[in-house]
Amino acid sequence: MSDVLSGHFLTKHFGHTTALAGVDITIRQEEAVAIMGPSGSGKSTLLHCLAGIMKPDEGEVHLMGHRVDNLGERRRSELRRTRFGFVFQFGQLLPELPAEENVALPLMLGGVTRTQAVRQAREWFAPLGLQGMETRRPGELSGGQAQRVAIARALVSRPAVVFADEPTGALDQTTGQETMRLLVEATKHNEACLVVVTHDPNVASWCDRTVEVRDGRLTAQQATAYTTVLPAGGHA
Ligand SMILES: Nc1ncnc2c1ncn2[C@@H]1O[C@H](COP(=O)(O)OP(=O)(O)OP(=O)(O)O)[C@@H](O)[C@H]1O
């Protein structure tokens, strides 16, 4: 499998704090990687550097062979919108928009007409078990349903990489497991790779591989035994 995203000697300081101390990481096509480690160890900083949200002080990030960490803010913003998808602990859906428009938003920001974007967005609802929820506002959805809307929004523009920071952190254990299953399967089915920051070993167990960050360094890598059970065809 080819490399999709890689970080080379990523280093990041905040004042006297060293958040990343020279991290090397490679994520391959359709691979799901969990980033674990104690609080304050540098997990979110690593995700933010890989995703172009933050520039590392030293080191390089490459997406499909192209260096991306040195792009200007406008190009990195475009990269985040077109090549990356994001799922955070709280789905960060816009409360005033119906679910289908929340999902359609990345497409509309990319210039697709509202009608076409909503049509494409609707295709994601049934595969994610959200049929009938299209016109509900986020406040009318359960936590698990809202995260599934966030998953649809992360995938609608067919990104190369989905980044998730504690995607199940606000959910109970059962709903969290179901959300992870859908996140991993939908991401793989769309031939994207997944980078998940989590404290929860149950969440990490859905991934192909876990890397552990301590004091800004990767300390361990272990393979986890997850294989997709999705049938071929469809979105999720
Ligand atoms: N914007 C910032 N300004 C100053 N220090 C920061 C900033 N962001 C992170 N840090 C520091 O960098 C270190 C790594 O933070 P980071 O958020 O990456 O850790 P984490 O492993 O994601 O933690 P948690 O599991 O608690 O979310 C910590 O010591 C943190 O206090």
Tell me, in angstroms, the distance from the centre of ligand 1 to residue 8's CA. 20
Tokens representing 67?
Answer: 């260096």
Tell me the pLDDT band of 1, cut-offs 50, 70 and 90.
low
Residues contacting residue 86 through CB under 8 Å, at least 6 positions apart:
51, 80, 154, 162, 163, 164
pLDDT digits (tens, 9 = 90+) for 24-40: 999 999 899 999 999 99
Ligand 1 neighbour 227 (Cβ under 6 A): no
d(CA 51, CA 77): 10
User: Cα of 21 to ligand 1 centre, how many Å?
Assistant: 13
- Sorted by sequence, the CB contacts under 8 Å of residue 5 that are 6+ apart come out as 26, 27, 50, 61, 62, 63, 64, 160, 161, 193, 195
Say how far apart CA 137 and CA 197 lie, in whole Å. Answer: 27
Sign of CA dihedral 225, 231, 233, 236: negative
ipTM of the complex model? 0.97
Cβ(27)–Cβ(3) under 8 Å? yes
Q: How far is CA 125 from CA 122, 142, 163, in A?
A: 6, 15, 20
- Predicted structure pTM score: 0.91
Cα of 201 from ligand 1 centre, angstroms? 20
Which residues in 82-233 belong to E strands, given as ranges? 84-88, 161-165, 193-197, 209-214, 217-223
Q: What confidence score (pLDDT) does residue 222 get? A: 66
Which domains, ranges and CATH numbers included, belong to the chain?
Answer: 31-41+72-210+219-223 (3.40.50.300)
Q: Ligand 1 centre from 234 Cα, in Å?
A: 39
Only one residue has tokens 């995938």, namely: 155
Q: Encode pLDDT of 52-95 as tens digits.
A: 999 999 999 999 999 999 999 999 999 999 999 999 887 689 99
Query: At 61, phi and psi to the nearest 5?
Result: -120, 130
- Of 10, 13, 14, 88, which is best to mutate to test ligand 1, by the most ligand atoms within 8 angstroms of its C-beta? 14
CA distance 130 to 145: 7
C-beta 198 within 6 A of ligand 1: no
Q: Ligand 1 in contact with 43 (CB < 6 A)? A: yes
Tell me the CA–centroid distance for residue 55 and ligand 1, in Å: 15
Alpha carbons 94 and 31: distance in angstroms, whole number? 29
CB of 45 sitting under 6 A from ligand 1:
yes
Which H/E stretch holds residue 8?
strand 3-14
Nearest CA to ligand 1 atom 4: 14
- CA–centroid distance, residue 18 to ligand 1 (Å): 9
Q: Is 225 helix (H, G, I), strand (E, B) or coil?
A: coil
pLDDT at 233 over 50: no
Query: Is residue 188 within 8 Å of 29, Cβ to Cβ?
Result: no
Q: Is the CB of 216 under 6 A from ligand 1?
A: no
Cα(50) to ligand 1 centroid in Å equals 15
What is the tens place of the pLDDT at every residue in 199-222? 999 999 999 999 999 999 998 776
Instruction: Please state, in angstroms and rounded to a whole number, the distance separating the CA atoms of residues 173 and 195.
Output: 20
